[in-house]
Amino acid sequence: MSTAPKRAFSRWSVGIACGVLAAAGAIVLSPAVASRAPGGDLSITCNNSTECALRTNAGTGLAYKGIGTQNTGIVGQTSAFNTRSSFFGVQGSDLATPNPNGTPFNNAGVLGETSTGIGVWGKAGAGTAMLANANGGDGLFGTTQSNVSGIASAGVFGEDVGNSSQAYGVLGFSGTGIGVQADQFERGRFLNAAFLGLTFSSTITTEFPAAPPGGVFNSDIGEGVVAEAQGHNAEALAAANFGGGPLFRAYAASTEKLDLDNAGNMVIAGTLTQNGTPHDAMQTSGGNRVVMYGPMQAVATVEDLGEAQLSAGQAYVHIDARFAGTMDLTRSYLVFLTPQGDTPGLYVTQKSAVGFMVREHGARSNVVFDYRIVAAPYVSQGARLATAPSMLTHAFTRSVTTHKPTVLPNGTIARH
């Protein structure tokens, strides 16, 4: 009888041992704990149609936070392949908007922050580093709150650092609207321009107008602006001013050289050279418009004409002082006379800067005559029959790049 308690104790010990082994096996077989690494990291593998891991925080704290002191805090990857659906390594959704209680304050599906580095960084090989798509709002919206004087911060900044010569820092496509739009609200004191385009080999200095322009383009190696069109009725470059101001102005540095106002009047500071015969459109008394042609001369001249009358065979003609100011008074001028009646002949004498004397042979009639004065201009206008300037020799050459945007089923645009 003394051995019975020992057998009972043994059966009790065996039961405990079996329970411990069963619990250990359950722990080993649990998918949430089985792959727990010795360092404490959790790796989960599952084959479900729902989440492998779900963390819900009903309080005000974070649902999940990843901190990497020597490496990346959180890494998301996907190897899913489907020709009709898109999958993401990391996806963030704002489920509070819209909300019947109002609009949340700047909720976002994904937020990236940094004090001096990069808030959100997208990298790609031959694909797209960052794609933004919206069904009614902005696909991509960038702002900057830089208040540092002299630092050109940007709400959206694009840069091509490759050598293909066919890439773009910023490229915009639109199926029905505007590919790229830039706005400026004229609140700053320095770079006041809605759009700034620069092309330079090393450094470049950009001078901004006093009034903020819609866009500023500058290049030290090529054209500042190139406008191209392939339509039969479309302009390569169009200018419109609905406020009554000038349509176009051209400057050499800060000096105005050409002005085209809203009425179509053009003022040029230099010389206009035209190939072919100049045409002047003139409206007739009948209401139609005809083409008139101006005389062409071997030298530049200024002319004035008028009518005078002899008195006892002579008359002194005073030259208009304003016209005399256009004449080169160091050189002689010509006077052509046409009598309006019978006379033995008229001739010119005593020519000066203020006038000339007209006399009749025999000095007897009071005939009326016409006169025409031809003089050299006060400012030299070029040599006699000077060689005409030619057009610039460099041709408008371009390397051909074809863009064919295609709208994908998800609403995004692909380029070919």
Q: Is the dihedral of CA 18, 20, 26, 28 positive or negative?
A: negative
Distance CA 96, CA 76 (A): 23
Structural domain of 366: 302-375
Averaged over 382-409, what is the pLDDT?
73
Give me the sheet containing 355-360, strands edge to edge. Answer: 314-318, 355-360, 346-349
Instruction: Decide: helix, strand or coil at residue 248.
Output: strand
Query: Vertex 260, ends 382 and 322: CA angle to 5°?
Result: 50
**Above 90 in pLDDT, residue 408?**
no
363 inside domain: yes
Q: How far is CA 73 from CA 65, 66, 70, 107, 332, in A?
A: 8, 5, 9, 22, 92
**Residue 215 within any structural domain of the chain:** yes
What's 199's DSSP letter?
E
Considering the domain boundaries, does residue 369 fall inside one?
yes
Q: What angle do CA 86, 90, 95 make, to 5 degrees?
A: 90
Polymer length in residues for the chain? 416
Does residue 175 lie in a domain region? yes
CA 141/CA 156 separation, integer angstroms: 8
Q: What is the largest CA-CA distance in the chain?
A: 182
- CA dist 109 and 96 (Å) reads 10
> Residue 349: what pLDDT?
97
96-134 confidence digits (pLDDT tens): 767 777 777 677 778 888 777 787 877 777 667 777 777
Of 206, 227, 248, the domain-final residue: 227
Q: Which of 116, 96, 122 is nearest to 108 (CA)?
A: 96
pLDDT tens digits, one per residue of 374-392: 999 998 878 899 998 887 7
| 61 vs 311, residue with greater confidence | 311
Is the pLDDT score of 251 beyond 80?
A: yes
Instruction: Give the pLDDT of residue 230.
Output: 83
Among residues 177, 200, 227, the one where a domain terminates is 227
DSSP codes joined into one string, 274-309: -SS--EEEEE-TTS-EEEEE----SS--EEEEEEEE
- CA angle, corner 92, sides to 91 and 94, nearest 5? 150
Interatomic CA distance for residues 216 and 207, integer angstroms: 9
* Domain termination site, one of 182, 208, 227: 227
State the pLDDT at residue 285. 96
pLDDT at 161 over 80: no
For 207, list phi and psi in degrees, rounded to 5.
-100, 120
- CA–CA gap between residue 185 and residue 208 (Å, rounded): 16
Number of domains comprising the chain? 2
Q: What is the pLDDT of residues 66-98, one digit of tens each?
A: 888 888 878 888 888 888 777 887 888 777 767
Looking up residue 313, the CATH number of its domain turns out to be: 2.60.40
Give residues with Cβ within 8 angstroms of 197, minimum separation 6.
215, 216, 217, 218
> In DSSP terms, which residues pair with 280 in a beta bridge?
292
Query: Mean pLDDT score of the chain, rounded to an integer?
Result: 78
In Å, what is the CA distance from 70 to each residue of 67, 73, 75, 116? Answer: 9, 9, 14, 19
Tens digits of residue pLDDT in 263-313: 999 999 988 888 888 899 999 999 999 999 988 899 999 999 999 999 999
Proportion of the chain above pLDDT 70, given as a percent: 71
Tokens of 39: 């360092």
Type of residue numbered 200: F
Do 257 and 268 touch, CB atoms closer than 8 A? yes
CA 209 to chain centre: 15
What is the structure's pLDDT at 185? Answer: 63
Tokens of 149: 């004087």
Is 239 part of a structural domain of the chain? Answer: no
Does 3 fall in a domain? no
The Cα 219–Cα 242 span in angstroms is 29
Question: How does DSSP classify residue 25?
Answer: H
Cβ-based neighbour number of residue 302 at 10 Å:
19
3-state SS, 145-189, equals CCCCCCCCCCCCCCCCCCCCCCCCCCCCCCCCCCCCCCCCCCCCC
pTM (predicted TM-score)? 0.59
